[in-house]
Amino acid sequence: MKTVARFFLHAAVAMLLTATLVAVAAIAAPATTPATALPTTGDQPPVKVQSLRGDTPIDRTPDPDLSKLERDRPPIPRSSTQEPPVIPHSIRGYQITKNFNKCMDCHAWSKVRESGATKVSVTHFKDSTGRELANISPRRYVCTTCHIPQTDARPLVGNTFQPSVEFVQKK
């Protein structure tokens, strides 16, 4: 029994040694294939890699990519009836808090005659269960979750969208 155990021990040690030797040889051996030269591009200029910073040197801060709000203007054409119309005026400083909603200062039904604003839609008086409320529904209270002002930002991707026939502007 003892000899068998010793045999296996020796065998294991021998295998370990061999493995170490092979590994050392692999590391020490010079690379068999020489490092290939970078592929030549012929007459083409070298590929320009552009980072998110663009060409701005590392010690400068790139200009912020801000878009400007558009000037106040008449209502912007809609693409469908279901779409929340975009806000055609500045909303800078218009607060919507628990106690006060600046938008309703002009858009409430009681205010539109004076302000000339569009009445909030009747759909905005329905709560989530379909009940008609006397005032704006809590789910519509924060107007800017759906209505946003326009900026001059360029579209990020091309778009071939066409509004439904009814909404195509007649010239």
Of 69, 89, 125, 126, the one binding ligand HEC by CB under 6 A:
89
Of 8, 10, 53, 84, the one binding ligand HEC by CB under 6 A:
84
CB count within 10 Å of CB 120 equals 21
CB-based burial label for 89 (10 Å; 0-12, 13-18, 19+): middle
Please give the residues from 29 up to 68 whose contact with ligand HEC meets the rule CB under 6 A: none
Of 144, 151, 163, 167, the one binding ligand HEC by CB under 6 A:
144
The reply on whether position 115 binds ligand HEC by CB under 6 A is yes
The one-character DSSP state at 111 is T
The reply on whether position 121 binds ligand HEC by CB under 6 A is yes
The distance of closest approach from Cβ of residue 41 to ligand HEC in the complex, given in angstroms and rounded to an integer, is: 53
Distance CA 19, CA 13 (A): 10
Distance CA 128, CA 137 (A): 8
3-class SS at 78? Answer: coil
- Interface positions with ligand HEC (CB under 6 A): 74-75, 82, 84-85, 87-89, 91, 94, 101-107, 115-121, 123-124, 136, 140-147
